[in-house]
Structure 1
Amino acid sequence: MTENNQQEHSESSKESTPVTPSNTSHPKKTLFSPTAGQKIDLSPSKNTLPYAAFGLSAIAIALSGWLYLQSMQSTVDNDISALKNAQSTLSSQLNSNNISATELNRLAEQIQGATQTNQSQNSQLLTRLSLQEEKLLILESKMSRLGNTTKEDWKLAEAEYLIRLANQRLLLESDNVGAATLLINADDILNELKDPLVFSTRKALAKDIQALKSISQFDLEGAYLKLNALYESVETLPQREPSKAWQSTSSEQNTLLQTGSKATNVDASQAVTTMLSSLWESLQSLVVINYNHKPIKALLPPAEYQTLVTGLQLQLDVAQVALIKGEPRIYQQTLSRVATAITEHFETQADSVVFFLGGLTALQQLNPSPELPLPRESLLAMRALMQEWDRRNTDVTTSPEPVVQETTTQEQPQNPSPQDEPKAEQGGGA
């Protein structure tokens, strides 16, 4: 823009400068004034005024144009700066709008979550209210039942309690005798009602009582005491010895030597023969032929023998615990281990060992936890009887109520209450 303005300024300056005509081409003309007698110069230099005015006007136009361009340029710069400012303000507004939009979205999510929690809380409150209403209805029904209970209702509740107690006795204590006694008492109570509704319940009770009585009796205390007696008799059992014949021959030799010194009339030949025969028998007793090809066990040293006795006593303790807790598998395993150890390390021909093994075999025949039938059928029949009994009682109590209400509603207009009489008197006085 500045270069163009300079060129235009130079061109206007060139046009504004007057051209001096040369003397050769334009000769001066002089005129003589007749009045004053002076000469009038008619040369072209006297006509440069229009040219100067034109040049000045051109310069003014150029200056005005340049000033206009400068003003336009300044306005454009101002407009650009204003646009930049507006753009920055718009961008800041957009950023603030974006921030506000995110905040609004976050607030909307929070509001939605709050509404969901409120809805869930309302649903929970509604469920609680429904449960409370159901509980209130149940309590009202129970109160009405308590208000209308009779002696037969109490007997029926007692019979149900006895049946439940019999189930608990079998589950917790495995006491079939006590459970059968409780069921018999419940059957006696139902028999006192003399009602045909109890027939099916008494039938189920009779079936459960018969099943409990068919179980063989099991004396837990007696079995425990027998195991304790075996525990104490382990220390007195004789250990197995390798040769009983050697002991018998040695004792015979001692007796012969004692009698030989006293009997002087016995012949020497007979004494020699008897000595040789006894020696031969003793040698035979020392030689044992094992036809089963099993190794012969020697006598245990005292320390190992004491360890064996302690181990057997420990196994009997485990059998006692398994008997009390009702663990048949552990009970049978421990008793079989004790029997195997007794037959291997103790003299099975001795009377004490024979009696010990006999008692152990008798205890092995016991079952610590026999299968006991649960009186479920009688309990289910009792619950059905209670429901039928309550239904019949509710039908009986609710049937006469509408008749009573109708009679009372019909009698109310005919017999005004004493509270209405003062009101009528007050209305008449007014």
Structure 2
Amino acid sequence: MSRTPALAGCTILVTRPQEQASGLCEAIAAAGGQPLLFPALAIEAAAGQAAVERLTHIDDYDWAIFVSANAVRYAQKAFDNGIIPPTSTVRVAAVGAATAQALREAGVGAVLTPPEPGDSEALAALAELQEVAGRRCLIVRGAGGRELLADTLRQRGALVEYAEVYRRVRPKTDAGPLLDRWRQGEVHGVVVTSGEALSNLTAMVGFEGVALLRKTPLVTVSERVRQQALVLGVRQVASAEGAADAALVQALAELLSDRVNEQLQARGPGTVTDQDKQPKPAELSAGVSLGSAAPVAENSPPAAKIKPVKTKPARRAWIGYVILLLVVGIVVGGYFLMQQIRSTQEGLGGELSKEDREIAELNTQVADLQAVFKTLHGQMATLETRLSTEDNKVERVLGEQSAQFSEKLEQFRGEVRDDLQVLHRMLGKTRSDWLVADAEYLLGAALQRLHLVGDVKTAIAALEGADERLRESGEPAVFKVREQLANEIRILKSFTPPDLIGASSRLLALEAKVRELPLLLPHAGKGVSSAGSPDGAHGAPKTAAPGEADSITDSLMGELGKYVSIRRLDKPVASVLTPEETLVLRQILLLKLETARMALVRGDDALYKASLETARLWLAENFDDGQAAVRSVDGDIRALMEQPIQVAYPEIGKALAMLRDITKLRVEADGVVADKEKSRDKGEKKAAPASASGEAPPPAAAPAAPQGAQ
């Protein structure tokens, strides 16, 4: 016997895009079914400039993930030389086997693929995509796809970008012909390969088509789409082992196996046909035999020996005929009665079956409506949950913002309150308060000028100005401050600061003299003095007078004396100095003096004296100390070494500290005034009895003027 096709006699509705449905339609036809193509999706190219730019620089990414075969095809359309160069280091992953096959056909070798049925969840669960922190991932997909894979990778620390190369749109196809065939029962199964295709199909066929869809077996490619179909109210839904055509046909065969078996049984040898209902020849002969038994006995051959009976033969025959006729009549009447009863039952049964079918159809419609209401109720519950979540989120955000605004408002109020208090204090100050504040500023300025700059004169002037302000304020609380201030002014006036500026000026003057100091060793480039003798010459012959230059020898010697200097040296002479060596000797001495001046400015006493000491040694070693200019410079250096450059300035900050604590001084002054008033009251009470007795009270002593008051 030949094997029966798995989908024999079944019409399958295929909802894949038209350009991708040929393989599935051929597989359904090969399995004995009849494909009915009604695309619920249309694919359009949508590779923008950003997607093309990212695909052009795909080597910059660590992972390139393709979510569908369409992503591979439409990404390949954007390039002429393939999606991924052969030398690229980017790793490639595919969501399913069909996508991986499309990548291999495009020339991509190594592709990471999850086991069937492949989806985004299965790909994200692979070990290779667990440690992706800091990795750059490019997901090639259609516009508006799922965000699960990207969100999962981002949670693991990956940097995810999209390259959307196509978009899915709903076809504008008339569903009327499909619904006509569906109503007639010519659609036995449906194949839906994505949730978007299922949504588009329900929108295209309308309410009546959705009712027909719920009663039709449906095959999909993932558990997610299966759950979506169940929520829609479809009664029979199966999930194939992947998106391959063979897997979809296998799922259809398993889901429609009962219908195929029913059709096979209807065509099998046990089926009762009209030809089988005709009476067989054996049955007819038997019937005839049953009705002609008596005549055969009546017409038996004469050879049979039958003893004659004494009864009347004719009467017995008529009785037999009557009985036989009665039996035949009863049989015929019973037969017709049974046929009438059967026809009546069949009529009643047909009417009952028709009513039952109508009731069943009504029950089915009620069940469909209940499923629709249940779906709508579920959607309403989902919307209410989302609305509640959004409300909670909005309330939380509003609460946080309200708390932040309240905190900022309270902080602003505090700042305004502080500013108002400062303003009130400033507005509430009297002239005495302003004078005290001015005196406090002058004391601080005096302290800074003394310790930072060493300006004693300015410090004294500032202290005297502060004392003048305190005197004008007339507050009793500042008397002690003025006493301390007078002491500090006296100390500063008796203090003599070192003349650092003068020392610096003297060092500059010495540097100017160094350029004219005579060196110890002879050197080229000496100038001739106005007297006619070279610089530093001792005992040089004078130029001969005009009257004494009679001889040629005397004339030559006179001319030679202009250029040759004769001097006695006690030290050995190694060589004559060149102009460069002369310049270096003078510059070294200048550098030592400049170092001393820098130490003077910095107040470094040790470096100052050490620099001057080395300058003296260099002067004695390389310059002619027999000359008066050299000895003068040496004396100036010794005088500068004896002058100290570090000095301890007197402390003048006590009056400022007392003035800053003016509140305490005011309390003490108020206590002193209160004590004086109490003493005066006691004195008046003691003087009252004396005046009553006629004695004159002693004159009251005049109050002592405050120290420093004018």
Coarse TM-score class (shorter-chain normalised): 0.5 to 0.7
Q: Following the alignment from structure 2 to structure 1, what is the Cα–Cα distance between the partners of residues 486 and 423? A: 38
Deviation at 1:228, TM superposition (A): 1.9
Residues 210-225 of structure 1: pairs in structure 2 closer than 5 A: 211-212=491-492, 215-225=495-505
What is the match of residue 57 of structure 1? Answer: 344
Q: Following the alignment from structure 2 to structure 1, what is the Cα–Cα distance between the partners of residues 451 and 437? A: 21
Q: Following the alignment from structure 2 to structure 1, what is the Cα–Cα distance between the partners of residues 665 and 488? A: 22
Q: Following the alignment from structure 2 to structure 1, what is the Cα–Cα distance between the partners of residues 328 and 475? A: 169
Distance 1:207 1:189, change over 3 A: same
Match of 2:511 among 231, 239, 243: 231
Residues 248-327 of structure 1: pairs in structure 2 closer than 5 A: 300-317=577-594, 319-320=596-597, 323-324=600-601, 326=603
What amino acid sits opposite 1:111 in the alignment?
L
5+ residue gaps in structure 2? 1-258, 278-283, 296-319, 523-537, 542-567, 674-710
Q: Following the alignment from structure 1 to structure 2, what is the Cα–Cα distance between the partners of residues 205 and 157? A: 15
Deviation at 1:234, TM superposition (A): 0.6
Distance 1:108 1:187, change over 3 A: closer
> What's the CA shift string for 1:367-404, capped at 9, x where partnerless?
445332341101122334576459968x99xxxxxxxx
Q: Following the alignment from structure 2 to structure 1, what is the Cα–Cα distance between the partners of residues 363 and 471? A: 117
Determine which structure has the larger helix proportion and give its number.
1
Match of 1:170 among 450, 471, 477: 450
1:23 equivalent to 2:291? Answer yes
Q: Following the alignment from structure 2 to structure 1, what is the Cα–Cα distance between the partners of residues 327 and 570? A: 198
What is the match of residue 488 of structure 2? Answer: 208
1:371 equivalent to 2:654? Answer no
Deviation at 1:333, TM superposition (A): 6.0
Deviation at 1:299, TM superposition (A): 5.5
> What's the CA shift string for 1:174-223, capped at 9, x where partnerless?
12244245546756887899997555324433553455356443223321
Q: Is the 8 A contact 1:240 1:299 kept in 2?
A: no
Residues 56-95 of structure 1: pairs in structure 2 closer than 5 A: 56-60=343-347, 62-64=349-351, 66-67=353-354, 70-71=357-358, 74-75=361-362, 77-79=364-366, 81-95=368-382
Q: Following the alignment from structure 2 to structure 1, what is the Cα–Cα distance between the partners of residues 377 and 294? A: 73
1:352 equivalent to 2:594? Answer no
Structure-1-length-normalised TM-score: 0.58
Q: Is the 8 A contact 1:29 1:42 kept in 2?
A: no
Q: Is the 8 A contact 1:167 1:375 kept in 2?
A: yes
What is the match of residue 113 of structure 1? Answer: 400
Distance 1:389 1:61, change over 3 A: same
Structure-2-length-normalised TM-score: 0.38
Q: Is the 8 A contact 2:476 2:669 kept in 1?
A: no
Distance 1:56 1:195, change over 3 A: closer
Deviation at 1:60, TM superposition (A): 3.3
Distance 1:70 1:327, change over 3 A: farther
Distance 1:392 1:378, change over 3 A: closer
Q: Following the alignment from structure 1 to structure 2, what is the Cα–Cα distance between the partners of residues 328 and 25? A: 167
Q: Following the alignment from structure 2 to structure 1, what is the Cα–Cα distance between the partners of residues 460 and 574? A: 54
What is the match of residue 639 of structure 2? Answer: 362
Q: Is the 8 A contact 1:176 1:372 kept in 2?
A: no
Q: Following the alignment from structure 1 to structure 2, what is the Cα–Cα distance between the partners of residues 134 and 30? A: 143
Q: Is the 8 A contact 1:323 1:331 kept in 2?
A: yes
5+ residue gaps in structure 1? 32-38, 243-250, 255-281, 289-295, 397-430
Q: Is the 8 A contact 1:170 1:179 kept in 2?
A: yes
> What's the CA shift string for 1:31-69, capped at 9, x where partnerless?
9xxxxxxx9985531333431232123323543565466
Q: Following the alignment from structure 2 to structure 1, what is the Cα–Cα distance between the partners of residues 521 and 376? A: 117
Q: Is the 8 A contact 1:29 1:41 kept in 2?
A: no
Match of 1:341 among 585, 594, 618: 618
Q: Following the alignment from structure 2 to structure 1, what is the Cα–Cα distance between the partners of residues 609 and 637? A: 10
Distance 1:204 1:120, change over 3 A: same
What amino acid sits opposite 1:167 in the alignment?
L
Distance 1:82 1:318, change over 3 A: farther
> What's the CA shift string for 1:284-320, capped at 9, x where partnerless?
978x7xxxxxxx9866421122133234335544544
Q: Following the alignment from structure 2 to structure 1, what is the Cα–Cα distance between the partners of residues 294 and 627? A: 184
RMSD: 5.1
- Does the residue aligned with 2:649 lie in a helix, a strand or coil? coil
> What's the CA shift string for 1:135-157, capped at 9, x where partnerless?
24303421xx24xx5xxx88867
Out of 378-387 and 133-142, give the one that drifted further: 378-387
Q: Following the alignment from structure 1 to structure 2, what is the Cα–Cα distance between the partners of residues 235 and 112? A: 84
Q: Following the alignment from structure 1 to structure 2, what is the Cα–Cα distance between the partners of residues 128 and 110? A: 27
> What's the CA shift string for 1:348-375, capped at 9, x where partnerless?
5554333323322332344445332341
Distance 1:86 1:343, change over 3 A: farther
Larger RCO (CA under 8 A, 6+ residues apart): 1
What amino acid sits opposite 1:23 in the alignment?
G
Deviation at 1:23, TM superposition (A): 1.6
Deviation at 1:171, TM superposition (A): 3.9
Give the length in aligned residue pairs.
Answer: 334
Larger Rg: 1
Q: Following the alignment from structure 1 to structure 2, what is the Cα–Cα distance between the partners of residues 376 and 164? A: 8
